Structure 1
Amino acid sequence: MTDARTATAVSYGLTGVLTALWAATLPATDVRLNLGSGRLGALLTGLAVGALVAMPVAGRLAGPRLLPVTAPAAAAALVVVALAPTVQVLAVAAVLLGAAFGALNVALSLRAVAVERAAGRPVMAWMHGVWTLGAVAGGAIASASLRAGLDVRVLMAGGAVAVAIAFASVTRVRVESVSLAAKGSPAPRSRLLVLLGVIGAAAFVSEGAATDWAGVHAVRVLGAEPSTGSLVYTVFFVAMTVVRLLGDAVRDRIGAAGTIGLAGGVATAGYALVLLSGAAPAGIRVGCAMVGWTLAGAGMAVVWPIVASAIGAAGGAGRLSAVTAISYGGGLVGPAVIGYVAAHATLPVGLSIPAVLALLVAAAAPAVLRQVGRPVLPLNTRRVP
């Protein structure tokens, strides 16, 4: 089981690297093809559409070959993106990349659920922590390579091929798979699926808020230097990574419902500090916001892993992909909604959206998880490739 767990964790880390090879090189691709903000926005929309369409399909096609197929497909799609000679080709490639990433995320979640249930203890948060480490490492490699003068096309295509080769070695590892709808365990009803999707979306909206707006809030609202604004973003993701790597032990001790309630409470307290930081004395405003974003990252770190574990074990592959689509969709829309509210009111008012969602997690998520059932159900294992 150790080999299967390690192989699955490495798959998560490689996916993080692959994601970074896309995201961290986007500015260089923008310059290469002279995209501009309008085309760039359309490109990101195409990526999102591809992912949202592919996730439910991947759930229907779920099987032992899903991860070995979707992993190289995602790498191949990134190669097409890297070598796209025109904006039109890039637009099509972005949709394909989004679809491949969406299917790959579903495949990873299903594999992690199988590993978790075979192990009989939580591992999902740790897996997502490894994904974050992979994304950070991939981003650092991309940044250093571009600074050294490496052509962005060579970087993306070469990196994608290297990741695909690494994937080939780990996706062949056999794991103790399980029937994801265990005998005697009723599948969650549609209402619960939507609620789980909203809870998952809260985590992704919070992550998007930190990515797109934490630094802007520090600079524009609190008067920090741009370099300090970047640090605010960093502390959020450092806290998220640390808690994900440690969160399974907490969940194992106090249960999924207790952990997600605690997580929502910590995140709510963090957002309260962020929203109140503008009214704090000038000397401590930025520090107050940093503590707030740290708590928000720490709190929301385990929300999606717990949701994915619960629905994957109790509801089947199709339901997991549906909840994933709802959650990811919320994460894609949320930052844009925050920006719209900020433009028509203020940024702190916009940031009240993830704050309210964090409060919703604290208040409602434990009861929802208790209705779904235990995330790790009795074993019904079989060997699969």
Structure 2
Amino acid sequence: TGRVLAMVGGFSYGQSEFNRATQAMRQPGSSFKPFVYAAALDNGYTPASVILDAPFEMVSGGQVWRPQNYGGGSAGPSTLRLGIERSRNLMTVRLANDMGMNLVAEYAERFGIYDKMLPVLAMSLGSGETTVLRMVSAYAVLANGGKQIKPSLIDRIQDRYGKTIFRHEERTCENCNANDWENQAEPELVDNREQVLDPMTAYQITSMMEGVVTRGTAAGKIKLDRPTAGKTGTTNDEKDAWFVGYTPDLVAGLYIGFDNPAPLGRGGTGGSLSAPIFNEFMQAAVEGTRPTKFIVPEGMKFIAVNRKTGMQAYEGDPDTIMEAFKPGTGPADVFSVIGGDEYATPEEILKSSPQANQAVTGGSGGLF
């Protein structure tokens, strides 16, 4: 519904009226990445698409920009799923570069994260400033199957005569005002909110962020009794640590950082600092409520794929995951890598899957 159930913007309103949840402009860091991936999934990519995770550099204005993964290093060709689970900066930059930053900016504005986003590659890593409320509202769209969410602290306003002069709820209910039952049609809630994202794309990115919680940068930090999706975020020099996540019914997010940005200290990441706070809050928030599952859109199909190569898994494959695909899509028949023109085939990829080995060495397209 977009109803804001709880908000904390500081220690004491008496000491400071500044609301850090709605007014503090902060870099979201990697917590912005799901919207880069959502733009990709909405435009022909799949969770099993493979992108090169390797050093990247770009010259702009006479300056050389060399982004790095947190902690350094790179993993070579990896699926989109692995990229978001492990929060790989180099993969995100290559993905944004491949589809174009104008598209990324369009989606960021569509979700309400920014009013006007500068379409430069650094923005794909969450270098632009926004607020916690905007980020949580954007994640709420993903949790709501791609339907637009507008946050509100007020449900409705009535005048002194009881007439409603403002109503936040945009959905209308047909036949809800009948006083008597006269065999009319059953009441129906009509959701006329804007469809910001394909429901199948929303489910795919949700599934990928469930992997963040179970296997990725937040692994072991979130211990709820229901499906949970989310993303960590850590800015340069560990100045801000983020976590934004959701269950099927509730979305929450936070950042930790000084008012005058300064390093939080070694290991001050979204996974180590913010995810445990999210977990503690959500455990209290959902206590006594019935767990539900994320809704799978009609027509979505699940195929067993190798989690590293993105190709269809073979019988007995030890690293298999059931991946969600839209109709007409599926795992690739030929192992190909976005950004692979600068890459030589690694031995570990050839060993990871018989299908990948055959595709790379069989001369039927190969690695590119």
Above 0.5 in TM-score? Answer: no
Q: Which has the higher strand share?
A: 2
Specify the structure having the higher radius of gyration (Cα).
2
TM-score by length of 1: 0.24
By percentage of residues, which structure has more helix?
Answer: 1
Question: Which structure exhibits the higher relative contact order, with contacts defined as CA atoms closer than 8 Å and separated by 6 or more residues?
Answer: 1
Q: TM-score, normalised by structure 2?
A: 0.25
